[in-house]
């Protein structure tokens, strides 16, 4: 049974519908979609809103991670060599949290739910919230475990 080695929950501020996660050292960039883009060494996740604080959970497992409970609107799997950490960063370069890794090859699972809470415009909110809502409107989970192959 796989064991959760480490986890961190962060609430980054979203600007221009963007959450950045990295570094992820793709040997060959996977196909992009409307949710995740691969600009360089990492992911650029497209949130459903501007000027708010979703929950982003990073998990490191010692083997294949169990699928988190509940329903998920988006799920994608990736494989990549990884450096010694994975961080959540906003567009201004502010790091909201990171998780330590042993460098090597990993499986990554990206899940999201709550994207339908509001229809976002690209304009920034003139009166953005000063902190996170008590209950996150959007939830992202990134699960990582070593590639045994």
Q: What's the CATH number where 27 sits? A: 2.60.34.30
Rounded to two decimals, what is the model's pTM?
0.86
Instruction: Round to whole Å and give the CA distance between 106 and 54.
Output: 25
User: So what's the pLDDT on residue 122?
Assistant: 46
Whole-angstrom CA distances from 129 to 60, 80, 134, 143 are 31, 36, 12, 29
Q: How many domains does the chain have?
A: 1
Q: What is the pLDDT of residue 31?
A: 84
CB 80 within 8 A of CB 105: yes
Q: What is the pLDDT of residue 28?
A: 83
Query: Distance between CA 20 and CA 1 in Å, rounded?
Result: 31
pLDDT at residue 84, rounded to an integer: 96
Q: What is the pLDDT of residues 2-23, one digit of tens each?
A: 999 999 999 998 888 899 999 9
Following CA atoms 32, 34, 36, 38 in sequence, which dihedral angle do they give, to the nearest 10 degrees? 40
Structural domain for 99, as ranges: 4-146
Say how many residues make up the chain: 149
| Longest CA pairwise span in the chain (Å) | 50
Residues of the chain with pLDDT under 50: 120-124
Cβ neighbours of residue 1 closer than 8 Å, sequence gap 6 or more: 63
């Amino acid at each position: 049974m796989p064991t959760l080695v480490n986890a961190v929950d962060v609430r980054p501020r979203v600007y221009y519908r963007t959450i950045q996660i990295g570094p992820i050292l793709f040997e060959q960039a996977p196909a992009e979609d409307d949710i995740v883009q691969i600009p360089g060494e990492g992911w650029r996740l497209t949130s459903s809103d501007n000027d708010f604080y979703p929950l982003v959970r990073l998990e490191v497992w010692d083997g294949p991670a169990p699928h988190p409970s509940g329903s998920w609107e988006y799920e994608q799997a990736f494989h990549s060599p990884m450096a010694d950490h994975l961080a959540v960063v906003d567009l201004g370069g502010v790091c909201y949290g990171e998780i330590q890794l042993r460098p090597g090859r990993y499986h990554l699972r990206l899940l999201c739910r709550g994207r339908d809470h509001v229809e976002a415009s690209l304009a920034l909110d003139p009166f953005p919230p000063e902190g996170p809502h008590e209950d996150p409107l959007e939830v992202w989970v990134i699960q990582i475990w070593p590639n045994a192959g």
